[in-house]
Structure 1
Amino acid sequence: MTSQAAETLEIRRFSAADEQGVIDVILPIQRQEFGIAITAEDQPDLRAIPEFYQTGDGEFWVAAVGERIVGTIALKDIGGTEAALRKMFVASDFRGREHGVATRLLDALLAHAEQRQVRAVYLGTTEKFLAAHRFYERNGFVEIARQDLPASFPVMGVDTKFYVRRLAAV
């Protein structure tokens, strides 16, 4: 990837026109890389992003290079000044520190969470995503036990490892 292409990376709020691009980034990662037999229909939130994520303190962002969506991240309001980090995906050819896509997506989410006075962001992942674990830990997330999650946290069937990042009270 050239530095010129890296300069055109844009992190922005999801809009309806992004729906298919979001699906086109997420599904291949889930299916081919993670080996999860899942469809867009199995994830109704992907066809209802404004209603599911962009409510309360929640939001959904995309990373785009030109017209192509290359990454996604969502903050799901779960009540009580807490939120869940969901749908963090970056296309394989845009991963790594040299591209900075994951970092920029996470920075947008955390800035929004702090602005909205969210006190804690929780996330669930699987044991096998070691690079994701390192990324979250490098960015201030601490592993917690499943029983320490808030009751309102939406645990996914594949989640076996959980993290929290506490934010400064404003």
Structure 2
Amino acid sequence: MKLEIRTLDNSYSEQATDLILNIQQKEFNVPITIHDQPDLAQIESFYIEAGGNFWGAFINGELAGTIALVKFNEKEGAIRKMFVKKEFRGKDLNIAQLLLEILISFCREKGIENLYLGTVNILKAAIRFYERNQFHEIQKENLPASFPLMNADNVFYHLKINENR
């Protein structure tokens, strides 16, 4: 089994959208549609040109997981689109961990010191994953004013990058 992680551009929009919507809608019944996520059709302009990035993990050429970084000001970024297909989850392949580590090292290179994310309280495994990786829960009102909120999110986390690892 060959695992490869690479930056995604607009040519991967359809694959990324399929993976993410399947997990959101079918697996977890999160009430979110493609219309709530126009960024998926504009990976390059929304993520990369703004100073962030969008990565995909491929197993034998199949998109198995994604993670994205929205840089929303000079020293701060938000994690978005952190999804791994059910059959590729877990410690064996460690895809989520590898994706997160690539994103954090990208932040270090780019001088991003604070990382934030929003998730949904029903995603218990995701929440445990972030907490294991030193993210601390914060209240919505303590997010930076320019944090790009998603309507479905109701739990928020922060990581101060230089304090960890």
TM range (shorter): over 0.9
Stretch deviating more after TM superposition (31-40 or 110-119): 31-40
Q: Does 1:156 align with 2:145?
A: no
Aligned structure 1 segments of 4 or more residues deviating by more than 3 angstroms? none
How far apart are residue 24 of structure 1 and its match?
1.6
In structure 2, what is the equivalent of residue 100 of structure 1? 94
Q: Distance in 2 between matches of 1:141 and 1:38?
A: 25
Q: Does 1:9 align with 2:21?
A: no
In structure 2, what is the equivalent of residue 40 of structure 1? 34
SS at match of 2:21: helix
In structure 2, what is the equivalent of residue 67 of structure 1? 61
Q: Name the TM-score, length of structure 2 as normaliser.
A: 0.93
Q: CA RMSD in A?
A: 1.4
- Give the aligned length: 163
Identity %: 42
Compared CA separation, residues 93 and 71, structure 1 to 2 (3 A): same
Q: Name the TM-score, length of structure 1 as normaliser.
A: 0.91
In structure 2, stretches of 5+ residues that fail to align are none
In structure 2, what is the equivalent of residue 81 of structure 1? 75
In structure 1, what is the equivalent of residue 45 of structure 2? 51
How far apart are residue 57 of structure 1 and its match?
2.7
How far apart are residue 67 of structure 1 and its match?
2.5
Q: Match for 1:164: what amino acid? A: H
Q: Distance in 1 between matches of 2:123 and 2:32?
A: 18
How far apart are residue 130 of structure 1 and its match?
1.3
How far apart are residue 159 of structure 1 and its match?
1.1
In structure 1, stretches of 5+ residues that fail to align are none
How far apart are residue 81 of structure 1 and its match?
0.8
Residues 109-138 of structure 1 deviation map (CA, whole Å, 9 limit, x = unaligned): 001001001010000011111111110011
How far apart are residue 66 of structure 1 and its match?
2.5
